[in-house]
């Protein structure tokens, strides 16, 4: 039997979808799952694609089923499971055989695993994959990290299975070591923020303007025909349009308002603090998810203080559309600034325009706006996107709508943490003389930390009276 071109370990939802995608694109793949019956069932239900799938029942059998030099994708839960799988697999593999971690790994783990692989003289790739089950099956966005030569070995397969934007594969090498997983982490942070801002606008339409779910669906559907055209706006219209088959009520009205998370958005916020690059929209979105889980306290708060959201006057759907547009630009600008800081700190050389291009299709945050962002970053990848001519013009047009929406939300008792954080950051970024001089004076007063003077003088401490 012809040996497989590539292998895959872990036939859960994402692993199975990715394996079928690889087989469908004409690449013979060997698969293994810790539970052998899962492998057997996967092969039995693969239909016509089964001819390109080699099921194996042991790790040794998996390795022998793949032609040298081998490449094996790990689709197992992030963390210790990846380390355990590498430890079990490496003794069976040759020095040139490649392991690819395609799970949602913390980039620090990928940095460590890359260093360990380099010390052992074996190749290792950390690869971010975005798009959920649908993307994995039919075309995800893929962000590779590790030795360029190792990525180049598997690039033909990754490009073949990736999403395509106008025929261009959404699969690119982002840099050495943990670069690929870091880019995926920032992607997920932006995803959190994008979803939160959409939820905030939805809440204002529902509770502030009194629109029902069907009317809200129509608003999202109309927005998806304009500059906000994106996957998340598209599916927001679809979920608002959906009806619960059991009760006949709008599906949104029967879903508990407590959002889960797997931690990647939190990682973005944490790493931004370490890098000293503010991402307040993402931080607000992570915080909002945490607050959403505190149902008992929120119910107690409403009982004690009265319900927050009230009707709002004077807001139009155009205000909300433009506010969401401004918030989206501000969020992405923060994300790309964070990527630039990490690239410099870790010496990765992340190609920011390529990150924007990879995100144009296949991933959750795909949107029409990313093409313009890729162009702006190509012209100057060190410039904050809010200063790129195209996006500066957008913000000039939309920031007053964002201001009206945030003000109306605050006065009407609507929690809009992500939109509010975006506006505050924008105002801080356009204020040449802010208020941190007071903080510097306070720090010098109680801790003799010193300060700089606006006239360039040599003043190191203030004449504070104790």
Q: Which residues are annotated as a binding site for NADP(+)?
A: 10-15, 33-35, 76-78, 104
| Rounded Cα–Cα distance for residues 230 and 370 (Å) | 10
Beta carbons within 10 angstroms of residue 116's beta carbon: 14
Question: What separation in angstroms does the CA of 299 have from each of 254, 293, 362?
Answer: 17, 11, 39
Please tell me whether residue 313 adopts helix, strand or coil conformation.
Answer: coil
Quote the tokens at residue 226.
């304009």
Largest interatomic CA distance in the chain: 87
Residue 367: asked if its preceding bond is cis (omega within 30°), the reply is no
Residue 28's closest CA among 10, 5, 49? 5
Quote the tokens at residue 366.
């795909």
What backbone phi and psi angles, to 5 degrees, belong to 9? -115, 125
Beta carbons within 10 angstroms of residue 7's beta carbon: 27
Please tell me whether residue 262 adopts helix, strand or coil conformation.
Answer: coil
Residues carrying an active site annotation: 184, 191
| Rounded Cα–Cα distance for residues 62 and 244 (Å) | 44
Pairing of strands 141-145, 124-130: antiparallel
Beta carbons within 10 angstroms of residue 151's beta carbon: 24
DSSP 336-402: HHHHHHHHHHHT----HHHHHHHTTSSSTT-BTHHHHHHHHHHH-TTS-GGGSHHHHHHHHHHHHHH
Pairing of strands 29-32, 6-9: parallel
Q: 126: which strand partners?
A: 101, 145
Quote the tokens at residue 198.
């959409």
Quote the tokens at residue 6.
């590539």
| Annotated binding-site residue numbers for substrate | 104, 130-132, 187-188, 192, 262, 289, 443, 449
| Annotated binding-site residue numbers | 10-15, 33-35, 76-78, 104, 130-132, 187-188, 192, 262, 289, 443, 449
| Rounded Cα–Cα distance for residues 282 and 291 (Å) | 14
CB 427 within 8 A of CB 399: no
| Rounded Cα–Cα distance for residues 333 and 282 (Å) | 11
Residue 28's closest CA among 130, 157, 144? 157
| Rounded Cα–Cα distance for residues 237 and 87 (Å) | 46
Q: Any idea what DSSP says for residue 162?
A: S
Q: Give the list of residues 6+ apart from residue 32 with CB closer than 8 angstroms, or none.
A: 7, 8, 9, 39, 55, 56, 57, 58, 59, 61, 62
């Amino acid at each position: 039997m012809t040996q497989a071109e590539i292998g895959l370990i872990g036939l859960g939802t994402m692993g199975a979808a990715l394996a079928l995608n690889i087989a469908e694109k004409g690449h013979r793949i060997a698969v293994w799952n810790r539970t052998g019956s899962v492998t057997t069932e996967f092969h039995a239900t693969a239909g016509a694609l089964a001819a390109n799938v080699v099921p194996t029942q042991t790790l040794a059998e998996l390795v022998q089923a793949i032609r040298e030099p081998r490449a094996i994708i790990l689709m197992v839960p992030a963390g210790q499971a990846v380390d355990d799988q590498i430890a079990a697999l490496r003794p069976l593999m040759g020095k040139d055989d490649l392991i690819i971690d395609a799970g949602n790994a913390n980039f620090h783990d990928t940095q460590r695993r890359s260093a360990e692989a380099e010390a052992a003289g074996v190749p290792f790739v950390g690869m971010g994959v975005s798009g959920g089950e649908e993307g994995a099956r039919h075309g995800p966005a893929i962000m590779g990290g590790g030795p360029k030569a190792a990525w180049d070995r598997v690039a033909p397969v990754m490009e073949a299975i990736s999403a395509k934007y106008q025929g261009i594969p959404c699969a690119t090498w982002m840099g050495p070591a943990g670069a690929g997983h870091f880019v995926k982490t920032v992607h997920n942070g932006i995803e959190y923020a994008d979803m939160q801002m959409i939820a905030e606008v939805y809440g204002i339409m529902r509770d502030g303007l009194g629109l029902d779910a069907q009317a809200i669906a129509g608003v999202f559907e109309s927005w998806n025909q304009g500059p906000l055209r994106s996957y998340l706006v598209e599916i927001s219209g679809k979920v608002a349009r959906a009806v619960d088959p059991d009760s006949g009520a709008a599906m949104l009205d029967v879903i508990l308002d407590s959002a889960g998370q797997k931690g990647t958005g939190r990682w973005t916020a944490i790493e931004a603090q370490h890098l000293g690059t503010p991402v307040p929209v993402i931080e607000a979105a992570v915080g909002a998810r945490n607050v959403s889980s505190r149902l008992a306290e929120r119910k107690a708060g409403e009982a004690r203080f009265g319900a927050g959201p009230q009707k709002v006057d004077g807001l139009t759907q155009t205000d909300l559309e433009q506010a969401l547009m401004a918030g989206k630009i501000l969020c992405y600008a923060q994300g790309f600034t964070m990527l630039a800081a990490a690239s410099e700190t870790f010496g990765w050389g992340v190609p920011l325009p390529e990150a924007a291009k990879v995100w144009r299709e296949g991933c959750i945050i795909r949107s029409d706006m990313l093409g313009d962002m890729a162009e702006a970053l190509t012209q100057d990848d060190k410039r904050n996107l809010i200063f790129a001519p195209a996006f500066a013009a957008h913000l000039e047009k939309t920031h007053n709508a964002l201001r009206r929406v945030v003000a109306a939300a605050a006065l009407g008792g609507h929690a809009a943490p992500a939109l509010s954080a975006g506006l505050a950051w924008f105002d801080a970024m356009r204020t040449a003389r802010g208020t941190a001089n007071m903080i510097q004076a306070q720090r010098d007063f109680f801790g003799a930390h010193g300060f700089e003077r606006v006239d360039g003088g040599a003043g190191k401490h203030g004449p504070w009276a104790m």
